[in-house]
Structure 1
């Protein structure tokens, strides 16, 4: 019995590598050809975007087999970028799921041949209902292409499958066109990162897009504060008590005028034989980098990663008054970094 863990012969490895490269080349050419063709068929692409943007309902994406998997992903991409969309299985639609589709909806029907029986079976009912039909096929003369309100051509020169059987380049081209439609809609609607966050509240992405500086900054009794006339010894005690390696120096109105960090302390000790008579205002760092509390915590992380701030950042209100502070470790703990 052959050892399945045995390394393949060099000739076999070379053949597999070449085959893999051919697949990528064929699929890349399919997308390039789609891009060139899209320019020539601008009116169809423009009509599709306008139909999707102008619908008062939702976008229903459907397809059978491999096209169904692509349809499901396109629906998910549209939904996550501000266009309400969902996938309907054409075969299930014939058994009741057609009730999910209304006259206000836009249906994106995907079939490379344009002759998928399950889609053609419900096509008359969709048209009678008044739904707008956008077809994505590889055959402009197919039944689905002819009957649709808008036809988008996803034809490819050849599939990447050596047997020319498995949908490969055609599904890649269809998926790429679906992404292009979603991004065109995103831009047309003025969809922003804040809007994107509302659709992605979970996981690391949600934390980066939804957590603001005010949500995680230290404030109140946690905030180290000194006046400029305080002795350096008093500032050191405040830094030690609050444990973030710095203290904020404020005027009587709580306006930030500087910070004093453990790095500043090391530099002071290098320059002075005695610190007993020093005031913290004399040795503080003036005009430190600050951030507004309403900014995203991800922006604070970006500032700390780019600036030499010792892993600490102070937050101030529009009048420059101190409202909080956060550290690199605070961002780590919240999963922002």
Structure 2
């Protein structure tokens, strides 16, 4: 059968319409049972164990990962493996989140007697409130949909979308209840760019010691340029006899003074430096420094100690190398 380009688009839009309706249909399920499920997971002294077969299992894996990364310790256990030893991972302190659209998945139902004997609290996500799993659960949340996006009504499509969205609703509700912060999130994602943006502080990436470009106020512009060339940051701090910052001089400042035909060999850097520059401290997050640079349209920052002495310096290239930019 031939299908035109427009047929593909229409079919795709039909799927989106059906799945949007499935999500909208979840609102009634956000009731006392939803609240009870959140409270069970909030009070859980152990971990949330997510179980599901087939497509529900794939969605369950994602839900477990989302819970774990947002402050609720969780992991996924395959029901087939659970009945052959992996159920030993489950303790009485845990909460089990069982997912089955039909509520009659044999592999899940076979685990219920053992879970009940352990005294484990059971939350069920099903599309059938009258199903066996729903009735055996301590808490049941409906993920029922009116129709699947699959025209045959066979392939889990709208139902898996609804399940995933309900899992997100549980995870985010718990995240807020726990007061889970961006820093907390970054601690579980230290290897990613998000973790770097949130956790790296300026003391972790700044140039320090002899690598900090600095000249005294009586130095000439040409001497300042030599210091900038040696240190390679496109700027230099200008300090007094006590090493306190008086100003900075940058590549941009150089371009501006050249327009005025200033004698770089005779003019003191103090006459052309930028006074009261924006600075930072060692505890500042790299992400904060990036925002300051973007807002102020500058390419570098000096890091100061409590006596207003430059103890570090960094520029956009340092942020780029660290994966912050």
TM-score category of the 2 structures, normalised to the smaller one = over 0.9
Q: CA RMSD in A?
A: 1.8
Residue 218 of structure 1, CA deviation = 0.9
TM-score normalized by structure 2? 0.94
Whether 1:315 aligns to 2:307 is: no
Is contact 2:236–2:250 with CA below 8 Å preserved after alignment? yes
**Within the alignment, does 1:30 sit opposite 2:22 as a pair?**
yes
Structure 2 alignment gaps of length 5 or more: none
Question: Alpha-carbon deviation of 1:293?
Answer: 1.9
Q: SS of 2:151's equivalent?
A: coil
The alignment status of 1:270 with 2:259, answered yes or no, reads yes
Q: Hey, what does 1:182 align to over in structure 2?
A: 171
Offset from partner CA, 1:5-35 (integer Å, 9 cap, x none): xxx96x522112111111111111111111x
Of residues 184, 196, 204, the one that matches 1:207 is 196
- 1:108 to 2:97 alignment: yes
Match of 1:167 among 156, 159, 164: 156
Contact 2:29/2:143, CA 8 A, preserved across alignment: no
Alpha-carbon distance change, 158 to 328 in structure 1, aligned in 2, over 3 angstroms: same
2:83 to 89, 94, 114: 94
Find the aligned partners of 1:227 and 1:181 in 2 and give their Cα distance.
Answer: 59
Q: CA-to-partner distance for each residue in 1:147-175, whole Å, 9 max, x for gaps?
A: 11111111111110010111111110110
Q: In structure 1, what is the equivalent of residue 133 of structure 2?
A: 144
Structure 1 residues 273, 210: closer, same or farther in 2, change over 3 A? closer
- Per-residue deviation, 1:96: 1.4
Equivalent residue number for residue 52 of structure 2: 63
Give the Cα–Cα distance (whole angstroms) in 2 for the partners of residues 118 and 273 of structure 1.
83
- Matched residues in 1 for 2:157 and 2:245: separation? 61
- What does residue 146 of structure 2 align with? 157
Structure-2 separation of matches of 1:273 and 1:214: 36
Gaps of at least 5 residues in structure 1 are 1-7
Q: Does 2:40 correspond to 1:48? A: no
TM-score, length-scaled by structure 1? 0.91
Specify the alignment match of 1:196 in structure 2. Answer: 185
Match of 1:21 among 13, 30, 40: 13
Alignment size in residue pairs? 325
2:272: which partner in 1? 283
Rounded Cα–Cα distance in structure 1 between residues aligned with 2:305 and 2:38: 42
State the shift of 1:109 in Å.
0.4
SS in 2 for 1:127: helix
Aligned equivalents of 1:274, 1:102: Cα separation in 2: 79
1:224 Cα deviation from its structure 2 partner: 0.6
Offset, 1:307: 2.4
Tell me by how many angstroms 1:272 deviates: 4.0
The CA deviation at 1:318 is 4.3
How far 1:236 moved relative to its partner? 1.9
CA distance in 1, matches of 2:169, 2:240: 54
User: Out of 311, 316, 325, which is 1:328 matched to?
Assistant: 316
